[in-house]
Amino acid sequence: MNRLLPALAALTLTALPFAAGAQAGPTVTLDSGMIRGASKDGENVFLGVPFAAPPVGPLRWKAPQPVGHWPGVRSAEAFGPACIQFKKSDAVYAANGPTSEDCLYLNIWAPKQAGTKKLPVMLFIHGGSFVLGAGGLPIYDGAALARRGVIVVTINYRLGMLGFFAHPALTAENPDGDLGNYALMDQIASLKWVQRNIAQFGGDPKNVTIFGESAGAVAVQAMVASPEARGLFARGISESGGGVALIGAIRGGPASQEALGEAWAKGAGLDNATPEQLRAVPVEKLVAVPAGTRLMIDGRILTLNPGDAIRKGVAAPVPLIFGGNSYEASLVQFTDAFARMILGAPYDTLLAGYAKAPSKAGPAADLRTQGLFIQPTRWMAQLNAQHGHSGYAYYFTQVPASLRGTWPGTIHGGEIPYLFGTRFGDETLDDDDRRVGQLIGDYWVNFAKTGNPNGPGLPHWQKMTATDAPYLRIDAHPQTRQPTPLEQQVQDAGIAAAGRMWGPLP
C-alpha cells in the first residue's frame, strides 16, 4: 500500500504475542525439515516459515535460493522479521517491528479439518509501494478467512533497492540469469514453495488464488503476466492496483535501470563497482534511497507491462477480479498533474463532467479515482473476458461507521479490514459494516474455491462479457451497475493513453 490519508497513517495496531491463548500445535514435514506451529480458535497456524535462503551477503541481488535443510523440529510460532523498510513508520501498512535482510518468510493459517479433501489456497501479497509492509502485519491476519474453509498464506518479499536493482557489474556477473526484479522472484519462489509443500497443510496446490492490494495488486498482475509464474496459480484478485500497473509501474528495461544503478553507485563513491563492492554496501545506505524501486521489463520475469500482456491476450489464462475504492485519490502522490498527463486532452472536459455532481472528495479527486484506478481496472476485467477468461470488476464504497464524517469515501486500502476481519485501529463498526465484511469475504472465498464469486444468499455479481462491462458496487446493499457515459469517457481516455504508450495491437 502506498501513502494513505493522514488520518489512516496515524492509526496503529499493537500485535499481541501469538502464544496468548494458544495450545501446543501440530508438526508438519516440509521439503526442508519439520516445523511445529500452534493451534488456536479452530486453526493451525504456522508463522515465520522460510521459503528461500536468506538473501544476504553473496546472495544479495541474486534470485532466491533454496532453503537449506535443518535438523530436528523448527518452531513456527512467531513471525519472522519483515524485510528492510525504506522508512520507519507506525502506520498499519508498514512494519514497525524487527526488520532484516534475512526476511524471506511466509505464514500459514489452515483450518483443522476432518477427511482428506484438499482445501483451496489463498496467497496474499502485501502492499506498501514496494518499499514498506510485511506479510505478518496485524491487518493481514488470516484467521477469519481461513475459518471460511480455505488455507491462507501471507508472504514477505524484498523491498526498495533490495527488491529492484540493476547495475552493469551484476549483469556481467550473471548475463543469462534472472536480474533486477528480485521482489517478483521472491513472490514466484513463494508460489513454488506452496506447490511443493502446501499439501502437507491440507491445501490443494492445483487450486491457488493469488490476491494483493496496491503494490501487491500490481504484483498480482505481474504474476499473471510473467512467463516464470505460469502454472503456479489458478486465479487472481487485484485490489486497487489496476491504474498503477496499467500506466506507471514499469520503469524501462535493464539498460535504463542499469544506468540508474550505476549513477547511484557513483554517488556512493563506487566508480566501476564490482559485485562484491555493491554487496558490501551497508544496508542502511540502501534503504535511504527511494529511487529505482519499481518493476522492469527484464525479458524473463516480465516481457511486457502487465496491462499490455492482458491487453494482448498473452497473460495467464485464469479468472481475474479487478477493482478499487471510492476514494483512491487518498494516494497523495497521484496528483492532478499526473492525471492530466495520463488522460491527455480530455482531462478538462472530464473534470467539468465530475464538477456537475461531485462527491465529498471533490471533482478533481473523483477524476483521479476513476481515471487512474476504477476505469482501468474495469477495462482489464473486460479484456480478460474478451480473451475467453472470466473477468469481474468491483467498486468498494463502504466506510467504517465512526469515520463516515471524516473520510469522503473508501480510502486506498480501506477494504482490507473488511476482508480480513481486522481493524485499522480503534474505529467502530455498525451492522452495515459487519454485513459488508461478510459479503466481501464470501465473494473472495467463493472465487478462490470455484473461480466464481457468487454463492447462496449473495447478491449476484455479473461477470464481464466481450461486449458488456458491468461492475459490482460493494457496500451494505451491493448491486450491479453499468458504467455511466462519463465513466466510459474516462475509460476511453485511459485506453487511448495505453495505446500511445504500448502502440497498436498486432
Q: Residues 369-409: pLDDT tens digits?
A: 999 999 999 999 999 999 999 999 999 999 999 999 999 99
| Cell 462479457 found at | 465
The domain ranges of the chain are 6-502
* Residue 167 appears among annotated catalytic residues: no
Q: Which 3 state secondary structure label does DSSP give 17?
A: coil
**CA dist 116 to 112, 113, 193, 204, Å?**
12, 8, 21, 11
The residue from 390, 412, 415, 487 that is catalytic is 412
Which amino acid, 129?
Answer: S
Specify the pLDDT at position 73.
Answer: 96
* Grid coordinates belonging to 45: 497456524
Query: 301, 187, 202: which is closest to 233 by C-alpha?
Result: 187
Residues of the chain predicted below pLDDT 50 = 1-23, 248-249
Beta-strand pair 391-396/471-474: parallel
Q: Are the C-beta atoms of 439 and 419 separated by less than 8 Å?
A: no
Give the pLDDT of residue 268: 87
- CATH architecture for segment(s) 6-502: 3-Layer(aba) Sandwich (3.40)
Q: Which of 214, 226, 240, 326 is catalytic?
A: 214
Does residue 214 have an active-site annotation?
A: yes
The pLDDT assigned to 13 comes to 32
Annotated active-site residue 173? The verdict is no
Q: Supply the pLDDT for residue 55.
A: 97
d(CA 380, CA 239): 13
Q: Which residue in 43, 213, 328, 487 is the catalytic one?
A: 328
pTM comes to 0.93
115 φ, ψ to 5°? 90, -175
Beta strands in 55-103 (DSSP E): 73-75, 82-83, 99-100
3-state secondary structure of 207: strand
Q: Record the cell numbers describing residue 406, joined without a space.
A: 471524516
- Write the pLDDT tens digit of every residue in 7-48: 343 333 333 333 444 446 899 999 999 999 999 888 999 999
Contact assessment for residue 237 and residue 220, using Cβ atoms and an 8 Å cutoff: yes
What is the number of other CB atoms lying within 10 angstroms of the CB of residue 269? 9
